[in-house]
Amino acid sequence: MNAKALMTAIDGSPPRGQGKDRSPAGKEARGARMHDAGVRPPQTLPYPDGPADSRGSVVDRRESLRAKLFDIGPGGAVLAAGRERPLVTGEGVRLRFWLAGPSQLDVFGRITWIREPEIAEEGTKYGVEFPQIGQAEQEAIVSYLKETAGVSRKQGLAAEVEEKFKVHQASGRLWIWLNGFLNPAESRQLRLRIEEEVRRLGRAPLLAFLDARRLLACPEESLDEIRDCFASMSERESFLCIVLAFNPVATLQIRRIAQLARIGDSFAYFDDAPQATAYWRKIARGWGVRE
């Protein structure tokens, strides 16, 4: 069941989807602002800034976290970060750090475990794996470990952490948060992460919320990975994806790859967070998903 058919089944008015929608619901989705500022998404929805961030710069990106890496190896490390912006299991991050010398390493990591501090003053510890580290980066890390005899185990390495994506699924609801520019390797890991969560549902109906407010335009290779992920959704009996996006180019890219995946009618687009949240709740109730 696509977005228009689903909305018609609920109250007879389809949402804004592909093309021009002249219905009252479509007009509302194009520009109206909700007066109920108190609307909030489900607590497990990973909104980075909350629905109050209704509009913002279309090139806005979330600032990097300052952290330290311990026990680093070719396959991963332990990340120590403050508690003001907690990471989540399965989250994709971009790590930038220096070993010996002026060269900076830039690798993709995935959070595999979380250890809360025993003392309040200490930071949270995260296990990070490097699923697609290059040969040159591996050799640099191995060489560094030989030269320093494990100094990083005690002192740690200063690192910048840029959050790239979060994916969470519960009871047939899938929440995806994207940040900044996604290169092909990061998009591939995003696809694998989404497929990992969706696989648990079998062919059951799926309601998705794609928070792409901080997503920037991506290269074609990255879009191919996301398109393949969308295409797998076409096999489901019922699928609807609510997209919240600010960047006009990124929005057009999402529309195009959804059409190429032949599920364009299953997407509803918004550029206002409170309105997208309200629509999510409306669909969730009509679809019988508990909030």
Q: 130 — alpha (psi -120 to 50), left (phi > 0) or beta?
A: beta
Please tell me the CATH code under which domain 3-55+171-287 is placed: 3.30.750.24
Per-residue pLDDT at 195 exceeds 60:
yes
Integer Cα distance of 93 and 129 in angstroms: 10
Nearest Cα residue to 213 out of 65, 45, 86, 85: 45
Q: Report the candidate in 259, 241, 249 with the shortest Cα–Cα distance to residue 215.
A: 249
Pair 267, 239: CB distance under 8 Å: no
Total residue count of the chain as it appears in this document: 291
**Rounded mean pLDDT of 36-61?**
35
Q: What average pLDDT does this structure show over 254-270?
A: 94
Amino acid of residue 33:
R
Whole-number Å distance between alpha carbons of 142 and 94: 20
183: pLDDT strictly greater than 50 = yes
Question: Three-class SS of residue 23?
Answer: coil
Please give the pLDDT value at position 155.
Answer: 75
pTM more than 0.85 = no
Give per-residue pLDDT as tens, 31-41: 322 222 222 33
User: Once rounded to an integer, what is the mean pLDDT over residues 210-221?
Assistant: 92
Condensed to tens digits (0 to 9), the pLDDT of residues 59-73 reads: 334 567 888 999 899
Q: How far apart are CA 208 and CA 175, in angstroms?
A: 6
User: From CA 58, how far away is CA 81, in angstroms rounded?
Assistant: 28
Task: Read off φ and ψ for residue 190, nearest 5 degrees.
Answer: -60, -45
Domain range summary for the chain, segments of one domain joined by +: 3-55+171-287, 65-163
268 φ/ψ angles, rounded to the nearest 5 degrees:
-120, 130
Among positive and negative, which fits the CA dihedral 229, 279, 180, 96? negative
pLDDT band, residue 49 (cuts 50/70/90): very low
Where do we find the tokens 């509803």? 268
Give the range among 26-35, 143-152, 245-254, 276-285 with minimum mean pLDDT. 26-35
Q: What percent of the chain has pLDDT over 70?
A: 72
| Dist. CA 201–CA 187, nearest whole Å | 22
Q: Can 3-55+171-287 and 65-163 be said to share one CATH topology? A: no
The closest of 283, 251, 72, 271 to 159, measured between CA atoms, is: 72
Supply the CATH classification number for the domain 65-163.
2.40.10.220
The DSSP element (H or E) to which 231 belongs, if any, is helix 220-233
- E strands, 2-123, are 65-73, 76-81, 92-98, 104-115
- Summarised one tens digit per residue, pLDDT across range 92-144 is 999 999 887 667 899 999 999 999 877 766 778 999 999 989 899 999 888 88
Q: Coil, helix or strand for 206? A: strand
> For residue 157, how many other CB atoms are within 10 A of its CB?
19
CA 271 → CA 23, 41, 104, 277, distances in Å?
18, 16, 37, 11
Instruction: Kindly state the DSSP code that residue 109 receives in the 8-state scheme.
Output: E
